[in-house]
Structures are given as structure tokens and as C-alpha cells.
Chain A
Amino acid sequence: MDVEQNTRKNKRQLIAEIEALHAEVKRLKLDASYQPQGEELLRQQVERERLLAIVTQKVRQSLAIDETLATAVTEVRQTLQADRALIFQLRPDGAGVVVKESVVPEYPVTNEMLFVDECFPSECYEHYRQGLPRVVLDVATDKWADCLSEFMQSVGVKSKIVAPIIHRNKVVPRVWGLLIVHSCAAYRHWQSVDAEFLQQVSNQLAIAIHQSELYEQLQAELSERQRIEAALQQSEALFRSLSESSPIGIFRSDKQNQCIYTNPCCQAIFGFTAEEALGKGWQKFVHPDDLAAYLTQRDAAIAAQQELVTEIRSINPDGIRYCKLRIAPIFSADGEPTGHVGMVEDITESREIERVKNEFISIVSHELRTPLASIRGALGLLASDVLKDDLEATERMLKVAEVEAERLVRLVNDMLDLERLTSNKVLLDKQLCDAGTLIQQSVEALQPLAEENQIALSYTQVSTPVWADPDRIIQTLVNIISNAIKFSPPGETVTVIVEPQSDRVLFKVQDRGRGIPADKLESIFGRFQQVDTSDARQKGGTGLGLSICRNIVQQHNGQIWVESVLGAGSTFCFTLPLLQEEV
């Protein structure tokens, strides 16, 4: 019984003693002078060193500020055994926002809370700006946070430490934000050493933020530089391709008129390489008769700040080229002359075409006007009384008018025929014909002319199929055979031969005429290109016959040519396809 009573008493005593101890602990905790002693102090110190080491290492190793801040709030809360640790960023516009938070589950989350008009008293801000932390043992009595008391209550804060994060990259340090530790469960007797520790963490965070901003700035600058570089490269490629692929020659000279660039087309026109053209090198490729005049014109144009359009000849290794040159002075942004740019166009072909065209028009004009002049003259005399009573003169003039009118009709007909052939307005009526029959018909038609010229006509009577327009082939044969008759001396024979070949039929007309000089063998198939221009008048031709023949043969996919020995005669040959061509 006693033992039992003793035990009960002991129990009660023990409970009372424990309660007393609890009360003592509570009292001690509330006592501002309470300080951890001995071993605990050492443990705290080690913990804090460890945290500082972690944060410092994070700051040095990582530029990911988000991660560093997250680590900081978590570690700080744990190290200080607080209920909440947060980073509150002050924005330049006066607002503030919680950017990172670590909070025990029992208390509300404040992360990303925005305080539109942050209301620091100026002395408080100044305190922070000097990089000084603050310990607030009871937030309800914080003289610098009247406006915060309601919020503090709502998130259950009793005590806090605030350590400013100072931005030092400006001349005047700026408070970037605050690292805040909350105690919600109880009032904490945080000491200045706690505040100093928190400030050390804040200072490391300030470095991290600064580094991160610098890094972001560098990244932005780098990507901007890369963007500009890419744009420049693209632009360079565009303009290079414009110049390098241009079908017009382009060159560029500097202020001293030294050539500094030529594009491939310019190099092709002059026949120089890019290197050979540099400086005054290009001048060696300009025709010496044109160079001095060009240089004078160029200097005058540049002095007058005007464009120049002129023509020069280049002495390209492949032959002389005619070039149209256009140059224009270039000025810098501030109006200073910096050289000139030039365009070169090879006009050799177009000049030749123009020359041939002019010559053709000139010949046509002559060919048309001459018979017209005869007719006009003869008729004019006949219409007047000048020839009155002179019957012989009257008859002569009538004959002139008649013959020349016929010549004009032939010429106009041939010109129209050739025009229709060359512009593909003639639809050939191709069919299977017998080459032998075509020759026979042509020869028969020309028999009177042959007799008139005392020429014998001989032809091979071979039956060979040929795919052709019979009327057009007879026209061709008549033209060639009549030429042979007209150009053969009396008593000679003109021979017409047809030779079937593997895939074509060869026609040959041989004469014993005066022959054709080697340099005319090709050109006689051109318009008005007789060996002797008087032939047209004397032999009744128009100068267009062979040109018409060539067009007809070509439209049959055949070939026409002439073989000749001067003084011994000529053989005109043409081929026609054997069978219908595939459509």
C-alpha cells in the first residue's frame, strides 16, 4: 500500500515537475535574454556555416537564379527552424511580390502574392538600403510595418527577421528585395547573430542576382549579335548572289578609280579574271582606240557627279566584243564621293542583228524601188506627149513597164512566201509521194526554159517513197533546176538524181556552170545573197529563191547544201525524210 501510494505520489510529483519545467521553458523562450548555450550554439553555428557554404557554392556554380533562390529559402527556413522563409522582390514600379517561399504545411502560402503599393517608411527603406538586417520579435508592435500588421496576422506571423538584398551594380545601391524569415508558431528570441547570418545569405543572394542579371544581359547581347550576324550573312548572300548571278556585267571602282570588284558576267565580257581586273588591270582588256576617250568621258562624268552611258570595245581573247557601259558615281552617307559603280552589257550580237536588219531593209528598199523607178519613169513618159509620134520609143517604154512590173510581182510574191514560211504560217500538206514523180513533174515544167537556154535535162527515173508536201517540193526542185539551167553555158546538161538512203531520200541537181566561191557556199541560202547581185536582174531571179528552198526543206526536217568547184559546176543537194515522222 505504501509502495503504491509512494508510486502515485511520485507520479504526481513527476507530472508537476515536468509541468514546472515546461513552464520554465516557456518562460525562458519568451525571455528576450534567452540564448542557446554551449553545445546547441556550436550545432547552430555548424548548421549556419553549412548553409552559407551551400548558398555560396550555388551562387558560384549556377547561373540559374530561380534554383539558387529556392535552395536559399528552403535551407534558411530549416537552419533557422522557422515556419516560413521567403524572398520578396521590390519592383521599380513600387509594387512588391513574393518570388520564392518555403513554408511549413500548417501555414498559408504567400508565394507570388503581389503587393501593389509597397509602403515602406523612408527611414525603413534607408535602413535596408544600407544593407542592415532587422529582427522583429513581435510583428504586431513593429513601428515600420503598420500597414503590414493585418497581413502578418492573416498569414500567422509572430516574429521575423528581414535581411535586405542589395543591388550594387548601380552607383547608388538599390534594395532589390528582402529575404524574410517568419516564425508563426511562437515568438522567437532571434538574436543579432541570426540577423547577421541571414544578412550573409542575403549578400550571397545579391551576388547571385547580379551575376544572373549580367548573364541574362550577356545572353541577350549574344543572341542579338548572333541575330545581326545571321541577318548580315543573309543580306550579304542575297546581294552576292544578285551580283554573281547577274546576266549583266557589274564592276565597282574606288575613289581613285581603281577597280575593286568585277562580277563573273563582267569578267566573261572582257575576258579577264577577277584578279586581272583589279586596279587598272582592266584597261589592258579595253580596245586601245577606245580607252583614252572612255577615261576622259568617265573622269568628266565623275567630276560632274553624273551618270555616263557610252560604248567601248573589249579585246576579249575570244574576239572583240561591243559593250554598252553605264557608270554612276557613288556617295557615302555624308555625301562624300567614294568611287563609281558600272554596268556592262555585251551588245555584240544585237549590233550584228541591227546591222543585218538595216542591210536587209536597205536591200529590200533597193529591190523594190528600182523596178518602181523604171515603171514610174516609163509610165510618166508615156502619159506625157514627149514620146508622141515616136512609136519605137513608146513600145520600148511599154516593154520596160511590163517587164519591171512582172519583176516587182515576182519579188513581192517571193517576199510574202518567205515571210509566211519563216513565220510558220504555211501549213505543209505532207503526204506519201513518189520522189521520181516529183522530179519528172519539175523537169517537164522546166523543159521550155531548158530549150530556150539550150540545156539538156537528164534525170534518174527511180520510184522512191518520200514523206513531203508535193507542191512545195516541186517548187524547190523547179527553183534549183531553173538556177542550174540559167547558170550553165549553152550545150551543157543539168542532171537530177534521187538516191534513197537508209532513213532519207537525197536529191541532187548537178550543173556545169561557173561554180560558187567557197565563202559563198553557205551565204547563198540567205536573203538577197546571190553570188553576183546583177544575177537577179539578168537571170530573172529575186534573190530570195534559195532562201525559200531552204525554209521548205527545213520544214520537212531535211537539210540543204551545195557542193561546188569554181569553173567546173555545182551540185545542190537536199534530203527529205523517208517516212512519216512521229507526231
Chain B
Amino acid sequence: MSAKRIVLIDDEQYLSAVIEMCLEKVGGWSVFAAYSGSAGLLLAQTKQPDAILLDVMMPDISGFEVLQQLKSDPLTQRIPVILLTAKMQAVVEADYARLGIVSVLTKPFDPLTLANQVANTLGW
């Protein structure tokens, strides 16, 4: 696994810190964290990451709105997106393609295998 660049968009700062740690320490990747949807959009445009981990439930712009904007922006539409959710049955697999996402990871997660899950999902 080469060093990947990940943009993490999640308003939960403590959880973000944990995810960052997991991906950096276990996966050996670079993580750029944004704590709001709007900051995340900007970060995705500027950092051009290999993948985006996107929280669904955020206060300013919801995860789905962020996703829509990522997919409609030529600068970001090709970047694979994985949704992070703590809600039950937020998205069913049949809707992945329609939404333009690769997968959905449910919180809580195993910190030691998170990077592997992401990598497997993206075929890295």
C-alpha cells in the first residue's frame, strides 16, 4: 500500500482525531481533516486526495449535500467517497451507485482494521 492522501470530513473532532490516528499510524497515509462540510469541500478541491471519508450527519451542510457538491464539481467528482455514519440503516447498498459512493462504514469501527477496510473497498 503506497502512502495515500485522505480527506476526512467529520464535525466530531474527537472522533476525527481517532480516525486520523488510525489511518496515519496503521495505514501510513496522510490525512487532512475538515470539521464542517464547507471546509471539507474546499479541502477536497485543494488537496485532490485519493479518497474522501465523509460523515453523514453534520450541522452546516449535511453529508449528502456535500456529496452532491463533490459529485457535481469537475475538480472532485472522480474522487472516491466513503460515507461514515452512526445512524442505523442510513444507506442501503443498492443506493451506492445512485449516490456516487463506494461504500458506507458504520461507527463504531475497529481502529486497527479501518485502514484495511478502506483499502479493500477501494481496491488498493
Contact = CB atoms under 8 A, between A and B. Distances in A.
Q: Do A and B come from one complex?
A: yes
Interface of A: 361-362, 365-366, 368-378, 380-381, 384, 386-387, 390, 393, 396-397, 400, 403-404, 532-535, 537
A406 to B, nearest CB: 11
A373 B108 contact: yes
30 contacts: A362-B88, A365-B87, A365-B88, A366-B86, A369-B86, A373-B15, A373-B107, A373-B108, A373-B109, A374-B15, A374-B17, A376-B108, A376-B110, A377-B21, A377-B108, A377-B109, A378-B18, A378-B111, A380-B112, A381-B25, A384-B111, A387-B21, A393-B25, A397-B17, A400-B14, A403-B14, A404-B14, A532-B59, A533-B57, A534-B58
Interface in B47-88: 57-60, 86-88
Interface of B: 11-15, 17-19, 21-22, 25-26, 36, 57-60, 86-88, 107-112, 114
Nearest to B58: A534
Nearest to B57: A366
A537 to B, nearest CB: 6
Contacts of B17: 374, 396-397, 400
B38 to A, nearest CB: 13
A377 B15 contact: yes
B25 A387 contact: yes
Contacts of A373: 15, 18, 86, 107-109
A370 B25 CA distance: 21
A404 B108 CA distance: 13
A362 B87 contact: yes
Nearest to B113: A380
A38 B46 CA distance: 152
A377 B11 contact: no
Contacts of A400: 14, 17-18
A533 B59 contact: yes
A369 B10 CA distance: 14
B13 A397 contact: no
B34 to A, nearest CB: 13
Contacts of A366: 57, 86-87
Contacts of B25: 381, 386-387, 390, 393
B11 A537 contact: yes
A537 B12 contact: yes
